[in-house]
């Protein structure tokens, strides 16, 4: 029997939030860079770099999760096809017929 693939709730929203923060920090840094003193400029640069690193880490983490989910889905599909070969053939045939009909309509 196929199992539901677990998902990370909020991971996409967190990534979008981090990317928005990076963009906002970059805009603020560019707007105020002419008015910042040496120490303020360094602090703003450190904050921006920290936010950018966090966003990159989130992207890597999401990519790893997506690859893992794809592997689980591929394994589940492989097991299903091995357990139900005729159902898989029938499903493939049905999909092929539908696609053929759609192509023939054009």
Q: Are 44 and 32 in contact (CB under 8 A)?
A: yes
DSSP 8-state symbol, 10: T
Q: Which two tokens stand for residue 94?
A: 């049905």
Q: 78-102 pLDDT, tens per residue?
A: 998 899 889 888 999 999 999 999 9
- Give the pTM: 0.52
Sorting pLDDT into bands at 50, 70 and 90, what band is 8?
low
Q: Are 51 and 39 in contact (CB under 8 A)?
A: no
Residue 24 to residue 69: CA distance in whole angstroms = 32
User: What pLDDT does 16 receive?
Assistant: 75
Sorting pLDDT into bands at 50, 70 and 90, what band is 2?
very low
């Amino acid at each position: 029997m196929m199992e539901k693939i677990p998902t990370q709730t909020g991971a996409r929203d967190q990534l979008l939030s981090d990317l928005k923060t990076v963009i906002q920090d970059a805009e603020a840094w560019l707007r105020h860079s002419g008015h910042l003193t040496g120490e303020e400029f360094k602090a703003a640069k450190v904050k921006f770099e920290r936010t950018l690193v966090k966003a990159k880490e989130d992207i890597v983490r999401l990519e790893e999760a997506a690859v893992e989910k794809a592997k689980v889905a591929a394994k589940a599909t492989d097991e299903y096809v091995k357990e139900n070969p005729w159902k898989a053939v029938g499903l493939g045939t049905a999909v092929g017929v539908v696609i053929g009909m759609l192509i023939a309509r054009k």
